[in-house]
Amino acid sequence: MSVADRPITSPVRSEVDSYPEHHFLNHSKGFLSWALTLDHKRIGLMYLVGVMSSFALGGMFALMIRIHLWNFKDGWLSNQTYNQVFTLHGAIMVFLFIIPSIPAALGNFLLPVMLGTKDVAFPRLNLSSFYLWVTGLILFLTALSVTGLDTGWTFYTPYSIETQQGGAVLAATFGVFVLGFSSIFTGLNFIVTINTMRPPGMTWFRMPLFLWAIYATSIIQVLATPVLGITVLLLSAERLLGIGIFDPKLNGDPVTFQHFFWFYSHPAVYIMILPAMGIISELMSVHCHKGIFGYRMIAYSSIAIALFGFLVWGHHMFTSGMADVTTIVFSALTFTVSIPSAIKVFNWLGTMYQGTVSLNTPMLYALAFIFLFTIGGLTGLPLGALSTDMHFHDTYFVVAHFHYVMMGGTLVAFLGGVFHWWPKMTGRMFNDKLGIVSAIIVFVGFNLTFLPQFVLGSRGMPRRYATYLPEFQPLHQLSTIGSITLGSGLLLALIVLLMSLVNGKKAPRNPWGGATLEWMCSSPPPHDNFSSAPTVGDPYDFSNIEYDGRTGGYVKRT
Amino acid sequence: MAQTTTSEHNHDAHGGHGHHDHGFSHPMPIWMLLSVFFALLFLTVVTVFQSQFDLGNAEIWASLTIATIKAALVILFFMHLLWDKPLNAIVILGSLIFVALFLGFTLMDAEGYRENLIYNSTIEASQPVVPVDPSTDATVPAVAAP
Amino acid sequence: MSFFLADKVAPYAWFPEGASSFAPQVDFLFTVILWICVVFFVPIVIAMGYFMWVYRERPGYRGSPEALHNTAIEITWTVVPTIVVVWVFWEGAMGYLDMARIPKGTVDVNVTAKKWQWAFKYENGGEHEVIPVENSSVKELPLLVLPVDRDIKIIMRSDDVLHSFYIPAFRAKRDVVPGRYNYMWFHTTKEGLYDLFCTEYCGDNHSQMNAKVKVVSQEEYQKALEKAIQEPEDPLERGKLLYKRQGCSTCHNAGAEGASGPGPSYNGSWGKPVPLESGSEVAFDENYVRESILNPQAKARKGYGKASPMNSYAGKLKDDQIDALITFIKSLENANSATTK
Amino acid sequence: MTAIQENLAQVVDDHADHHHEHPSWLAHHFDDAEQQYDSGKLGMWLFLVTEVLFFSGMFCAYALYRNRNPEVFEFCSSFLNEKLGAINTGVLLFSSLTMAWAVRAAQLRQHQLLVGMLGATLGCAAIFLGVKAVEYSHKWELGLLPGKLYVAQLDGAHGPHKGYLEFICQVPAFVTALCAFYALYAFKTKSLFHQRVAGPMLVAGLCFFGGVGLGQYLEAQEEASKGHGGHVAGHEHHAMVDGHVDHGSHEHAAAPESVHAAETKTAAEIAASAATAMGGTPNVYVSPTELKTPNADVNQRSMAGLFFSIYYCMTGVHAIHIIGGMIVITWLIVKAAREEFHEQYFGPVDNVGLYWHLVDFIWIYLFPLLYLIT
């Protein structure tokens, strides 16, 4: 179908008249007005820039890895360098990009607006958690520049105690500590905001599902991250004083370190995926112009995932010599998590049914998410089942699995969300045609990169290998080609967004026809979001939202 | 959770203790503060006293029970949880559940693989730190190798 | 999707050939899960594409905003997956218990993992031999010989960091954790030469920490055992053997063999004065070599103080073995590093 | 972490200038005082949740290793002076009382009393740290250090390093001096505000050294009882055993007959050590506890060292929280001196109070676990 059919984003629309004179972007000028701002929207934008640039950094490392693996031996990196590269790829992507990406960047911008409040509960705390994030970034860059971290992002002991890169390990662990608190305070802020600051009429079940997801995420952030804090603190004490709690040379127990680490880092997986699911719920309903299917099931399943997520960390340790009983218990609990995730997928499909699907950039990313996340989820089954996991554990099968969930899931949803709310954040429309092209390239490139890795893994190719057996080479080369495609797709997406800032049409109040509160205020929103508490209705009631040719956007029929 | 929304504030959330003249604030009566303090002091004396006897394993549980009573006093009265919004109580008690989860699984597992552990491995770091036995002026040998 | 089906067309596209009693169970469970995935995934994708097309936004079409809820179907798609995963869990757990319960009357092998070398010790105290490999990033690998159709018990210890013992053909994996023993077992079913990997990241040469597993007939196994305990008479040959068997070759380069680092090369250093970390110098002679074997850190060579520290071989080598090594290193007096990488 | 504390509480005067219909203490984005109070309070409770989970990691390590080799913990906890622990517990409990009272004072607009109560809390915190300083420095001199650094010789001989206490006290001394100058300035300018702030700070500074004095007095008592035991054992010309009576006799030091107990035990130990020396199984030490537990090689980095790692981690992190609390309380004193608090706006006092009680709460568990259970 031709894109021009869809009036929503077509570039030849009549001049937008609802563009606001004063909004948060021009509310005040100067560097300090941004550096010291307490406005959640500006903090959100600063996060957005931050996480996107750290994603670029991590992605660069990813490409270095893939290019190195083109040959089964004598790649262009030495073993040491390769180890440092994959470590930094993992650490930067996890701690600097995925975890803050959706909650801290989009969440910060959207939560108060969707909720109908002026700001989050603790604006200063909000700003300080941004600066904590910056501090963490700086510490990671030092770790990178001092000697290069080579422990893997999991800092497993005793390697992290024995490695020669002591300075890097210290810098990185402190970085993780600081980033942990950044994430804790964001979560804390959101929980309080949602609990105590909902305007009259905004009952729990009138909250958009994105907010439910953010709420569930925040619970995990507050409950799990402190354990990571103490873990890395003890680890740096290991390095500095040799306290020996995790050091077998002092009768310490490395397996205990893994328990400590994964008690955070598994729930962290849900910190990454839950907000992504929230975004998809929004995108599906808005771009199908149809209420979300099974609202309550989705809301409850978010909370269920958040809580079950705490019961399954052991499945990262199935082969590490846990006691058999623990292993089996953890395996059983692992499967409980799969159910709520499945429910969500089915509900999204139900949302499309009999809807009015507008195939624009955000929607295509959302559909890509469903495809990729389903693969990611399903390939979790053989990893949760014990006997098969004995074979797949620590192979490329795992690598492919979590990339399908983390990248195919979270990153794609993040991109979809950025495209979806870009007009609201910047007041500019992007070029939808090019956006669609980027979505398709990303989708193809992604599968080309990671599908071969499933086969690699099941044929026994271990993770974190700088050199490998010649028979694996063809699949590795396929994967490398895919990664380059993927990279170019992401680059195109970035270009589309930046171009919109230069020559994008001014965005209407409600370009997609959403029914949640953020579409009720101008784009970009004014400094205080709402001068008076907005009237709250059903966030998914599209019956009286109609396209209005004059503004090029949608309006509520009154 | 509903009573935490701004829409419906009711002072019943403060446990029906009048004090409406103080708005939402709820000053604790001095006698209550003092009696809680002395109760805590008394319990401290008790726990120190009971530690004089060797009760074996029971000692751990005795001390922990007393400590828990003290902690409860602090939380309920000093931290005012008794008159606080139920949500706050849920929050803090919930955290204890997750602590139990964390300790429970980790310790259960550690107990499970205990027999596999190698003790006193002859690795340098775990050598005994007494270099010389004065009586026989000869280096005390390292711990026996497994 | 096509590659999921590849499992049908080419039976060995998905897994390496199975050679242990675990393989059938694992492959069966995986294939079943694979088809479960197909059964869930294909309809989802078809539905997605179908809805995308029929309900696409177009002039003169407006979908109905109804159909927001349907208890029956929601219960269905909650209950069905639940039943499925319960079965998958059960099957997996049973398979795992089989792997965890070690039977009696096994052939025991002691495995010691250290950066970046596997060391295998047979029941009769004999040690593994080393075989050359072509077309790989390493020149030779330790060889573990096992009898076919026997229950093998692997007793694992690590000298330094975490490693993991993985034989894809046997579908068997277990981490090697320092400070404790880990055990695993499997029943060999097929003769052949198989790969053994370290799958827990262990540092610089993690990816070279491989070995070969050779499953042979009972008689050949006995022969291998006898061969394992004897070392050649000639001290030079013996030293050469020990150089590989004791894992010196993983860090020190000798002639054209062995890794170039982290340890210093043996080539052409005999008899010459050696600069030390401490700044002083010492003659590279029998005494120095012996001390460096027994107490490596005592006289660390200049520039190698920072290298990942070598463990002492005190108690691991007999005197005549050390002498043999010395003879071997002595023979490299005029050798020059042919190896580049 | 204190910056966060401030943020949690300080939100209240967050750019109020924009909104003139709001009183200065009510943030622009809150509808009314109660909403602001509830938000702050919920935020604080959530922060306490993170604190609880943060400490749970160390409690987990404690439980794990205690359960793995209890004899180590029995042996090592005899190094800890439980008198000092008990005193500190009392001090913390009292500070909790004053803190709770401070909240009441804030709610009732009793500004003078509020400053007093906060000052008292600050003082107690200082005493606590003073006592801790003595405990730490004493252990360091004995070489009772964490993990790899553990070098205790157990022959009662103090390590070569002396004067750790002086070293620790430098910073507090400097701070106290500053407070003193500030106090002088305050009394010279006769500004009530400055006097209200400087008074408590100076007192707190002095309290620290009070705590040090107290700690040293109690440690000296221990030394005395040990000295006796050491003397007794000294007759046996067995330096190692000597040490053992020293530390082993902690739990007996309370009663006089314990010395005889120590003596008799000593005899047994020499026999034991001699026997084991013959037997070849090496004994690094002989302690009263050994007679109960066959495992004799407790005095190594991998055993006792591990205990002290846990000890220092737990008490150290707790002490850091105390210092953090002191900074926030000082900030509260400043606000209280400005008479900012009233029944509509006492959130900061309440929230800092919650934090302070949690620190107390943690110590209530640390004290028996580390000092008492033998």
- pLDDT tens for each residue of D257-287: 333 333 333 433 433 443 333 333 333 333 3
SS3 label, residue C153: strand
- Tell me how many degrees the CA angle C261-C262-C268 measures, rounded to the nearest 5: 45
Provide the Cα torsion B26, B30, B36, B41; round to 10°: 140
Query: Residue C108 is inside which H or E element, if any?
Result: strand C107-114
C215: in domain: yes
A133: in domain: yes
Give the mutation candidate from B5, B87, B108 for the A interface (greatest A CB count, under 10 A). B5
Domain region containing A397: 40-556
Note whether A371 contacts C: Cβ–Cβ < 8 A: yes
| Percent of all residues in chain A with a pLDDT value above 70, rounded to a whole number | 96
CATH of the domain at A411: 1.20.210.10
pLDDT beyond 70 at D226: no
C338: in domain: no
D266 Cβ neighbours under 8 A, 6+ residues apart? D232, D233, D236, D241, D244, D245
Please state, in angstroms and rounded to a whole number, the distance separating the CA atoms of residues D318 and D325: 11
B-chain CB neighbours of D63 within 8 Å are 103, 107
pLDDT beyond 80 at C337: no
pLDDT value, residue D21: 62
B-chain CB neighbours of C181 within 8 Å are 116, 118
Note whether D240 contacts B: Cβ–Cβ < 8 A: yes
Question: Do C78 and C171 fall into the same domain?
Answer: no
Lowest-pLDDT choice from B104-108, C286-290, D42-46:
C286-290
pLDDT value, residue D281: 34
| Number of domain units in chain A | 1
Question: Do C255 and C326 fall into the same domain?
Answer: yes
What value does the mean pLDDT take over residues D31-47? 93
pLDDT value, residue C305: 66
Domain boundary at C229, C245, C263, which? C229
What value does the mean pLDDT take over residues C133-141? 86
Question: Do C111 and C225 fall into the same domain?
Answer: yes
A2: in domain: no
pLDDT value, residue D245: 36
Which residue among A117, A185, A222 sits closest to D29, beta carbon to beta carbon?
A: A117
> Is A342 in contact with A308 (CB distance < 8 Å)?
no
pLDDT value, residue D159: 54
Residue with tokens 């090689």: D297
Note whether A71 contacts C: Cβ–Cβ < 8 A: no
**Strand-strand pairing, C151-158 and C107-114:** parallel
pLDDT value, residue D262: 38
Q: Where are the domains of chain D?
A: 2-7+40-372
A254 preceded by a cis bond (ω within 30 of 0): no
| Number of domain units in chain C | 3
Give the mutation candidate from A195, A211, A230, A256 for the B interface (greatest B CB count, under 10 A). A195
Predicted ipTM of the assembly: 0.85
> Is B99 in contact with D56 (CB distance < 8 Å)?
yes
| Percent of all residues in chain D with a pLDDT value above 70, rounded to a whole number | 73
Mean residue pLDDT across chain B: 73
Burial class (CB in 10 A: 0-12, 13-18, 19+), D191: middle
Domain boundary at C100, C126, C161, which? C100
| Percent of all residues in chain D with a pLDDT value above 90, rounded to a whole number | 52
pLDDT beyond 60 at B98: yes
Tabulate helix, strand, coil % of chain D (nearest 5): 80, 0, 20
pLDDT beyond 90 at D323: yes
D-chain CB neighbours of B129 within 8 Å are 150-153, 284, 299-301
Domain region containing C31: 2-58+66-100
Note whether A310 contacts D: Cβ–Cβ < 8 A: no
Distances (CA, A) of A314 to A153, A322, A383, B120, C98: 18, 8, 12, 28, 20
Contact B110 A253 (CB under 8 A): yes
Helices then strands, counting H and E runs in chain D, come out as 12, 0
- pLDDT tens for each residue of A138-163: 999 998 888 789 999 999 989 999 88
A306: in domain: yes
Chain D, nearest residue to B8 by Cα: D35
Question: Do C128 and C195 fall into the same domain?
Answer: yes
pLDDT value, residue C252: 84
- pLDDT tens for each residue of C206-241: 999 999 999 999 999 999 988 887 777 888 888 888
Question: Do C116 and C149 fall into the same domain?
Answer: yes
pLDDT value, residue C188: 95
Question: Do C306 and C206 fall into the same domain?
Answer: no
Please state, in angstroms and rounded to a whole number, the distance separating the CA atoms of residues C148 and A191: 61
Question: Do C54 and C111 fall into the same domain?
Answer: no
C116: in domain: yes
Chain B, nearest residue to C177 by Cα: B117
CATH of the domain at C308: 1.10.760.10
A208: in domain: yes
Provide the Cα torsion A234, A238, A240, A242; round to 10°: 140
Question: Do C78 and C159 fall into the same domain?
Answer: no
pLDDT value, residue C338: 47
Give the mutation candidate from A194, A215, A310, A330 for the B interface (greatest B CB count, under 10 A). A310
Distance from CA of D4 to the nearest CA of A (A): 7
C262 preceded by a cis bond (ω within 30 of 0): yes
Query: Residue C172 is inside which H or E element, if any?
Result: strand C172-176
A7: in domain: no
- pLDDT tens for each residue of A24-47: 988 888 899 999 999 999 999 999
Q: Which CATH superfamily is domain D2-7+40-372 in?
A: Cytochrome c oxidase, subunit III, four-helix bundle (1.20.120.80)
C117: in domain: yes
pLDDT beyond 90 at C249: no
Domain boundary at C198, C229, C260, which? C229
Question: Do C272 and C215 fall into the same domain?
Answer: no
DSSP annotation string for A402-457: HHHHIIIIIIHHHHHHHHHHHHHHHSB---HHHHHHHHHHHHHHHHHHHHHHHHHH
Chain C, nearest residue to A359 by Cα: C56
Q: HSE (CB half, 13 Å, CA atoms) of D255?
A: 8
Going residue by residue through chain A, which has 558 residues, state the pLDDT in tens, using 9 for 90 and above: 333 344 444 333 333 445 677 889 888 888 999 999 999 999 999 999 999 999 999 999 999 999 999 999 888 999 999 999 999 999 999 999 999 999 999 999 999 999 999 999 999 999 999 999 999 999 999 988 887 899 999 999 899 998 888 889 999 999 999 999 999 999 999 999 999 999 888 999 999 999 999 999 999 999 999 999 999 999 999 999 989 899 988 888 999 999 999 999 999 999 999 999 999 999 999 999 998 998 998 999 999 999 999 999 999 999 988 899 999 999 999 999 899 999 999 999 999 998 999 999 999 999 999 999 999 999 999 999 999 999 999 999 999 999 999 999 999 999 999 999 999 999 999 999 999 999 999 999 999 999 999 999 999 999 999 999 998 999 999 999 999 999 999 999 999 999 999 999 989 889 999 999 999 888 899 988 887 778 888 899 888 888 887 778 888 876
